[in-house]
Amino acid sequence: MATEVQPGYEVGPAGFRSEEMILNMGPQHPSTHGVLRLVLVLDGETVVQCTPVIGYLHRGMEKIFENRPYMAGPRYIDNADYLSPMLNECCYAGAVEQLMGIEPPRRAQYIRVLVGELERIASHLVAIGTYGLDLGAFTPVLWCFRDREQILDMFESLSGHRFTHNYMRVGGVLYDFPKGWLEQCEKFLDKFEKTSIPELEELLTGNEIFEARTQGVGYIDPQQALAYALTGPVARASGVPFDVRVNRPYGAYREIPVNIKLRQDGDCFARYKVRMDEMGESVRLCRTVLDKLPGGPISVRSPIALRPPRGETYFSVESARGEESLYMISDGSEYPYRAKLRAPSFVNLQVLPELLRGHKIGDVIAILGSIDIVLGDVDR
């Protein structure tokens, strides 16, 4: 099938142009990081047009929220962005707290920051590791998953689950730290900062192949980032100073200032580098929490059947991928009347057809990996 000639599209010297080919990438393709289908129109190796097809992982999460009590929400929101469930739970618990007008105890807020930043490190480790894998470097993914496994082990001893933690509660957290957990955490942070981050920098940042594949590829203009409402590392790599932890601090971030990590280049390398910088920043935040961790209760006493007053609220947290928000409406009953999850990956993925146009097909994988989507978050 021939499509229309795109403006700026190269026509050969004799007026001929090669026939376009349609390539269906995914939904079962290792480099699409899940079940994402990309329909690519190719001219030779150049992408003329790209149409993402999503929805293969749609579970109707918003409908599930409406049919479960508020208590059950954190367990389901775990599965939205399955690489950073703790941050999702922070979003849900925070939204219901804002709806009810309650504030969790100070210790619970600090614990949320600690586990949230650890989860951000774990999520960025997956992003960077698999990104190296996409571009042909096999070692980073092994080293990243080795470090991530230690974080998951800590979460397991804290909450009982490696992935779907179900740890946050409305008004606090479920368990306090087990014996020796904080020492284990401190040991991990030391080792991670002293050896793991420099190792990764050596493997990827100075790697000539890696630089050649990422620098100057997939440029996002700051105005484009704003127009497409991009958030998270994708926006910050384009110089958009948006970080919910800084712009609208919530929880203990009101007491712990965050240094926003910005890059101006806007290409794939900048997005990778922002994630690396953010891991270092997360380590610093974790240390701050460990230093200042207050005592006291970890949760307020709240009834099992939560009945927030009638009203609506919009609560945002900075997830590992950008602004994650819940627009929640309560009608005074035990069930949310409406809970809209604003998923960062869903909004960030929109810009992909714009980015891919004119790039070679090898860059498709580099650009898609640098946006760092999680299909559970895209489809919900």
Amino acid at 311: G
Q: Which of 6, 28, 51, 195 binds another protein (CB under 8 A)?
A: 51
Dihedral of the CA atoms 89, 318, 180, 291 (nearest 10)?
-140
Smallest distance, another protein to C-beta of residue 235, A: 9
Q: Which of 84, 130, 214, 231 binds another protein (CB under 8 A)?
A: 231
Question: Whose Cβ is closer to another protein: residue 297's or residue 353's?
Answer: 353
Lay out the site mask for another protein across 291-330 (x = CB under 8 A, - = otherwise). --------------------xxxxx-------x-x-x-x-
Per-residue DSSP letter, 351: T
Bridge pairing between strands 172-173 and 311-319: unpaired
* Full strand arrangement of the beta sheet holding 37-43: 20-25, 37-43, 46-53
Contact partners, residue 150, CB within 8 Å, separation at least 6 = 188
Expressed in angstroms, the distance from the first to the final Cα of the chain is: 33
Question: Whose Cβ is closer to another protein: residue 142's or residue 226's?
Answer: 226
Within positions 20 to 39, which residues make up the interface with another protein, using CB under 8 A?
A: 22, 39
Lay out the site mask for another protein across 247-276 (x = CB under 8 A, - = otherwise). xxx----------x----------------
Smallest distance, another protein to C-beta of residue 24, A: 9
Radius of gyration of the chain (CA): 22
Amino acid at 348: N
Question: Whose Cβ is closer to another protein: residue 154's or residue 347's?
Answer: 347
Per-residue DSSP letter, 129: H
142 binds another protein per the rule CB under 8 A: no
Q: Total number of residues binding another protein (CB under 8 A)?
A: 53
Distance CA 213, CA 216 (A): 8
Helices (H), 58-138: 61-66, 73-77, 85-100, 106-134
Q: How many CB atoms lie within 10 A of CB 318?
A: 28
Smallest distance, another protein to C-beta of residue 3, A: 8
For residue 277, the surrounding DSSP H or E stretch is helix 268-292
Q: Which of 167, 342, 364, 376 binds another protein (CB under 8 A)?
A: 342
Within positions 68 to 107, which residues make up the interface with another protein, using CB under 8 A?
A: 98-99, 101
Q: Which of 31, 62, 205, 280 binds another protein (CB under 8 A)?
A: 62
Question: Whose Cβ is closer to another protein: residue 58's or residue 146's?
Answer: 58
- Dihedral (CA of 65, 71, 72, 76) sign: positive
Interaction site with another protein (CB under 8 A): 1, 22, 39, 41, 49, 51, 53-55, 58, 60, 62-63, 66, 98-99, 101, 221-224, 226-229, 231, 239-242, 246-249, 260, 311-315, 323, 325, 327, 329, 338, 340, 342, 346-347, 349-350, 379-380
